[in-house]
Structure formats: structure tokens, C-alpha cells
């Protein structure tokens, strides 16, 4: 069995990775008390204890607005933490798979972002994730950096659960000029396991984009959430959604208006077919409501 160390196993993607791990992998996913990626010593101890043959970093500071006032912590996890893992992987000659974000871009491009487009983050969160990418690349270990967007699942904090928590309101303002694609953590996890197999024969450095279909806006995503939740009987009433522009909905952190990601490179590398997030949304809503799974 191949030993896989997962950092951030309690998060959205980490939980999905553990739940869907193929039988040929032995998983070690210690909590943050046993693996604190902010601490290089803690990382070294985890490597010495488990001797991983693959590392997947799903640990991240993702509080986008709070990061504006918690810059040091965001960089400690997203940048320095990624660097600690990468350098430990380089010493052990262990490949690293790392999750990054669409927020490394400024959103001014009219079409979907490709991997060779110049990053220009608008907020501290994006800056910290971009620095994490750079530290991994500079470490010299075989790596795959996979950028994802608008992650949702039945665990953790995400847009789907936020919308459900606000379902009792009469009206709800949602921005309608931020474009992207929601990505289910389970779909990302399945793709990561497919990518892991490529490391068995192709230990290189790669940067790729994960994307689902079809593109939408935050408003469109919210509308789909409430329509599906109402159809499943998860909510008894649906608030009236009001479209609002980003400039009329101020937040602590600036948001890019376009974070569509072009996943062509991923499709060519692992025969990836972009999943339909609307189907994945139904599966996630059923899990949140405790309904029987309809997944194959």
C-alpha cells in the first residue's frame, strides 16, 4: 500500500479525500495538534513518523475577509506552511499535491484564466496562496498545484451552507457580477486521486486548473441552491433574492469579478471531464439534510 499524508484532513476537501481514498492507499491524516504546518518541526515529526510516499496539502486559511486583519496567520498557513511541507518533501524525495485558489487572479480578464496568465491577487488571502505556490515551486520537489474555485460540501463553512442558514429571511441580497464555477469537494477529491496515480510514473512539477460546468454568478449559484433545497424539502420557504453589484455590497476583502478557470490542461493530463456542479449540489444537499444518498 502507498502511504499518503493528508494535511487538513478535517476540511472540506480533506474530508472528501479521506472518504474517497482508493483501497491501495494507506491514509495518515493527523489533526492540527499532531501536524501543524506552520511549524517546520511538527512537519518533520510527521514525516519521520509516517514516512509518506505522497503528500496532499488540503490545509488552508480560507477566511477571506478576516485575512485582511489576520495577514500574519494567513501567510503562516497558506505560504510558510506550504513551504514547510514542500521542503520536507524535497528532502524525502516525496511528491506533493497542493490545493490553491482562483483568487490568485484579479478578475479583469474577459475569458477563463489559463495557468500561464499572470496572477495579481486583490486580497490578502489570494496573496498568501500565491506565495504558497511560489514556495512549493522553489523547493524543488515534484509537485502538482491544483487551483480550484468556490468549493462547497456538506462539511465546513461554504456558500451553500451559508445560504441555507439564511433561508428564513424574507429577502436576500446576492452579488450578480462575480462569475465563476462552484466546485464540489467530492469532485475535486476524485480528481486528486486520479492525479495521484500520475505521480507513480511521472514525477514532475505541474500547475493545473480544476473547473466544473456551467459558469454562473454568485446570484445564479444561490438561486440554484434554494431551488434544489426547496424541491428536496430541506427548506419550507425561500427568500426573495435581490441582484446586487459588487460595488454595492462592500466586504473587507476585494473580490475578483471573474474567476473562471480553464481546465484544458487537466483534461489532457488525466482524462478529466468537468463535472456538472448542479448535480453535485443535489448530492451535497441530500447529505446536509440526512437524506439517503442517490450517488452511484
pLDDT of residue 62: 95
Sign of the alpha-carbon dihedral angle for 193, 88, 7, 259: negative
pLDDT of residue 228: 95
Q: Which residues pair with 113 in a beta bridge?
A: 261
Please write the tens of the pLDDT for every residue from 109-158.
999 999 999 999 999 999 999 999 999 999 999 999 999 999 999 998 99
pLDDT tier, 202 (very low <50, low <70, confident <90, very high otherwise): low
Catalytic residue among 28, 61, 113, 125: 125
pLDDT at 198 over 90: no
Sign of the alpha-carbon dihedral angle for 77, 82, 87, 88: positive
Angle, helices 277-289 vs 218-231, to 10°: value is 50
The domains found in the chain, sorted by start residue, are: 2-153+182-214+261-276 (3.40.50.720)
Please write the tens of the pLDDT for every residue from 215-242.
999 999 999 999 999 999 898 888 999 9
**Residues 197, 184: Cα–Cα separation, whole Å:** 21
Specify whether 125 is catalytic. yes
Written as nine digits, the cell of 42 is 511538527
pLDDT at 52 over 70: yes
Amino acid at each position: 500500500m502507498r502511504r499518503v499524508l493528508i494535511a487538513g484532513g478535517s476540511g472540506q476537501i480533506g474530508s472528501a479525500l479521506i472518504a474517497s481514498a482508493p483501497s491501495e492507499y494507506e491514509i495518515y491524516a493527523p489533526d492540527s495538534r499532531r501536524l501543524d504546518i506552520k511549524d517546520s518541526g511538527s512537519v518533520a515529526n510527521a514525516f519521520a513518523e509516517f514516512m509518506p510516499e505522497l503528500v496532499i496539502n488540503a490545509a488552508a486559511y480560507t477566511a477571506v475577509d478576516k485575512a485582511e486583519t489576520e495577514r500574519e496567520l494567513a501567510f503562516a498557513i497558506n505560504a510558510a506552511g506550504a513551504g514547510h511541507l514542500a521542503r520536507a518533501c524535497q528532502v524525502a524525495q516525496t511528491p506533493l499535491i497542493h490545493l490553491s485558489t482562483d483568487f490568485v487572479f484579479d478578475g479583469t480578464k474577459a475569458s477563463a484564466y489559463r495557468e500561464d496568465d499572470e496572477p495579481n491577487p486583490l486580497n490578502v488571502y489570494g496573496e498568501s496562496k500565491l506565495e504558497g505556490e511560489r514556495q512549493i515551486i522553489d523547493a524543488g520537489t515534484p509537485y502538482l498545484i491544483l487551483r480550484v474555485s468556490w468549493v462547497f460540501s456538506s462539511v465546513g463553512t461554504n456558500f451553500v451552507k451559508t445560504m441555507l442558514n439564511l433561508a428564513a429571511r424574507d429577502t436576500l441580497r446576492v452579488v450578480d457580477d462575480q462569475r465563476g464555477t462552484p466546485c464540489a469537494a467530492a469532485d475535486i477529491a476524485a480528481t486528486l486521486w486520479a492525479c495521484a496515480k500520475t505521480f507513480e510514473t511521472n514525477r514532475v512539477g505541474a500547475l493545473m486548473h480544476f473547473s466544473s460546468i456551467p459558469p454562473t454568478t454568485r446570484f445564479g449559484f444561490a438561486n440554484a441552491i434554494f431551488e434544489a433545497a426547496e424541491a428536496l424539502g430541506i427548506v419550507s420557504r425561500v427568500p426573495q433574492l435581490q441582484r446586487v453589484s459588487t460595488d454595492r455590497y462592500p466586504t473587507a476583502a476585494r473580490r475578483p469579478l471573474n474567476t473562471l478557470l480553464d481546465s484544458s490542461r487537466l483534461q489532457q493530463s488525466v482524462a478529466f471531464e468537468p463535472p456538472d456542479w448542479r448535480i453535485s449540489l443535489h448530492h451535497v444537499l441530500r447529505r446536509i439534510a440526512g437524506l439517503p444518498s442517490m450517488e452511484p
